[in-house]
Amino acid sequence: MKRLLSNLLLAAAVVLGAHSSYAEDAPATIRFGDVGFGFGTPFGVGLQAIADAKGFIADEFRGTPTKLEFTYFTGTGPAINEALSNGQLDFASYGAVPNIIGKANGLDTVILASYGGTTIFGAARPDLNIKSIADLKGRKVAIQKATIIHWGLITALKNAGLSEKDVTIVDLKNADQLAAIAAKSVDAVFGADFLLPLEDKGVAKIFYKSSEAGASGDGFGAFLVTDKFRKAFPEATQKVVNGFVKAAQWLADDKNRDEAFRIWSRAGSPVEIIARSNSGSTLGQKYNPRLDDFFVARYRSGIAFDREQKLIRRDVDLDQWVDRTYVDNAVKSLNLQSLWPDRSAAGVLQN
């Protein structure tokens, strides 16, 4: 009887343990981080902001006790890395340069999807004859270092036959960049679409737009999860990615373009500025979530950049960092293969 009772208790423990493990796929709270801007109420301007505003991820957890928390960091990438390091986030969407730094420094992140492209602009003082990247030689240029904008400037210089030594780089945050060019203490500024109003005010003139420089011109980044969360809640992770991909699908429909711009305007930029920033871009392709050869090639360039700039001391194993499973499952289940076919490393669509 003792042996029988012991076996029954062991069997019950196994069943209860299995049930508890299964129940872990319904976390109480899922915490998301994204880059915000200090020009208005902190909010995002990418896929995660769309997924938040339209409830695409929340819909995946409808009927469950799981709550979602979205935080938009005005401190950009470094603030997100710090939050991940302190265990305050489960998912994050931000630029490649800082998330590569985070990974190289030991963050347990896993890349689940591409967050799309970031259009980078170059703005110069109107009293200077700066009409192209080549004209920056010998000039003083303001950027925020260790960001995807920093990568964008160095890449643009290389493509124009210049190097970092041909310019003087001044490391300034976004708001300080605006003040610096207005005061004529720098000759040019590299940044996102927050620079466009400078042209309207006559403070600067736009001379460079990354999306006009070819498929590899725009900035890039990723949607990541902590490995701890992915292992503990694999089903919840898939639900989150499903919602993220549905946001990309919604964005790909041209009839939603104006609404998307209104959502992104919550970050502080007027709708007309956002529309001008995205003019000539097909949002469905710009915000392609696939982790194909094009994405991998871009991330390899990001890793090489971080090494060159001595932002990291250790290499990052991209093959181990990227997990295509979740986004591929989402794309297949939603039958979106034709919307986002594979791209080559150069960005050419594959048949």
Average pLDDT, the chain: 91
Widest Cα–Cα separation across the chain: 95
Query: What are the angstrom distances between the C-alpha of 317 and each of 104, 146, 226, 230, 304?
Result: 9, 20, 16, 18, 12
3-state secondary structure the chain: CHHHHHHHHHHHHHHHHHHHHHHCCCCCEEEEEEECCCCCCCCCCCHHHHHHHHCHHHHHCCCCCCEEEEEEECCHHHHHHHHHHCCCCCEEEEEHHHHHHHHHCCCCEEEEEEEEEECCEEEECCCCCCCCHHHHCCCEEEECCCCHHHHHHHHHHHHCCCCHHHCEEEECCHHHHHHHHHCCCCCEEEECHHHHHHHHCCCCEEEEEHHHHCCCCCEEEEEEEEHHHHHHCHHHHHHHHHHHHHHHHHHHCHHHHHHHHHHHHHHCCCHHHHHHHCCCCCHHHHCCCCCCHHHHHHHHHHHHHHHHCCCCCCCCCHHHHECCHHHHHHHHHCCCCCCCCCECCCCCECC
Q: How many CA atoms lie within 13 A of 261 on its CB side?
A: 16
Asked if residues 228 and 103 have their Cβ atoms less than 8 Å apart, the reply is no
Whole-number pLDDT of residue 225: 98
Whole-number pLDDT of residue 3: 52
Whole-number pLDDT of residue 38: 58
pLDDT digits (tens, 9 = 90+) for 119-158: 999 999 999 999 999 999 999 999 999 999 999 999 999 9
Q: Cα(276)–Cα(98) distance, rounded to whole angstroms? A: 27
pLDDT digits (tens, 9 = 90+) for 11-38: 444 444 433 344 456 899 999 999 987 5
Whole-number pLDDT of residue 188: 98
Could you give the strand order of the β-sheet that contains 109-118, starting from the edge strand earlier in sequence? 67-73, 29-35, 91-95, 219-226, 109-118
Q: Cα(309)–Cα(304) distance, rounded to whole angstroms? A: 9
Per-residue model confidence as pLDDT tens for the chain (351 residues): 445 444 444 444 444 443 334 445 689 999 999 998 755 568 999 999 999 999 999 999 999 999 999 999 987 889 999 999 999 999 999 999 999 999 999 999 999 999 988 999 999 999 999 999 999 999 999 999 999 999 999 999 999 999 999 999 999 988 899 999 999 999 999 998 989 999 999 999 999 999 998 778 899 999 999 999 999 999 999 999 999 999 999 999 999 999 999 999 998 889 999 999 999 999 999 999 999 999 999 999 999 999 999 999 999 999 999 999 999 999 999 999 999 999 999 888 876
Whole-number pLDDT of residue 308: 95
Name all domains of the chain by residue range, CATH numbers in brackets: 29-117+220-334 (3.40.190.10), 121-213 (3.40.190.10)
Which one, of 104, 100, 275, 87, lies nearest residue 196 by Cα?
A: 275
Q: Cα(310)–Cα(57) distance, rounded to whole angstroms? A: 37
Whole-number pLDDT of residue 215: 75
Asked if residues 289 and 245 have their Cβ atoms less than 8 Å apart, the reply is yes
How many residues would you count in the chain?
Answer: 351
